[in-house]
Structure 1
């Protein structure tokens, strides 16, 4: 599974942010590794320079083999919370879709 991480102009996509993003994806979706080709992680600061609750938005898009892409979004107070929330939501969506597909085999 390939993991791609991108950030907006207000979040510095340095090595530490990429490492945290990859760790969140792997811990949340590693058991589905053989069914996924790529995960795209997009991290955005919705309030730019201003601060506020849940101002970091993380969107994760999964590319399952032989299926349409699926995504999940989550807002958090910091990057780690947004990553964890979106990984949890994406895992739930993928689990549901994979379970349904497995029943039809």
Structure 2
């Protein structure tokens, strides 16, 4: 499973942050590994320099199954860590629902 981490030009995404998220994703998505070819994470600042609201950072995660349409999950929060964490929780739930249904149909 390939992992790609992208940040907008207003989000400070360094190599350490990318390594942290990659480790976290690989741990959480280990059981889906045989079914996923790629994970892409996009983190961007949605409100520019204002930083007034609690949801100024958006994380969008796209999981690409080998034989199927991409699945996405997103969330907004005050920090990249919070936004990615919440989006990851949503993605795991979506993968459980999607692959669980596929497994039930096969039986």
Q: If the length of structure 2 is used for normalisation, what is the TM-score?
A: 0.91
Aligned position for 2:95: 94
- Contact 1:24-1:84 at 8 Å conserved across structures: no
**Which residue number in structure 1 is paired with residue 13 of structure 2?**
13
| Gap change, CA 1:2 and 1:12, over 3 Å in 2 | same
Tell me the SS of whatever aligns to 1:5: strand
Structure 1: give runs of 5+ residues left out of the alignment: none
- Quote the RMSD (CA, aligned, Å): 1.1
Q: Which residue of 2 aligns with 1:76?
A: 77
Partner of 1:63: 64
In structure 2, the residue matched to 1:26 is 26
Corresponding pairs, count: 105
Deviation >4 Å, runs of 4+: none
- Structure 2 stretches of 5 or more lacking a match? none
CA distance in 2, matches of 1:16, 1:49: 24
Cα drift, residue 28 of structure 1:
2.4
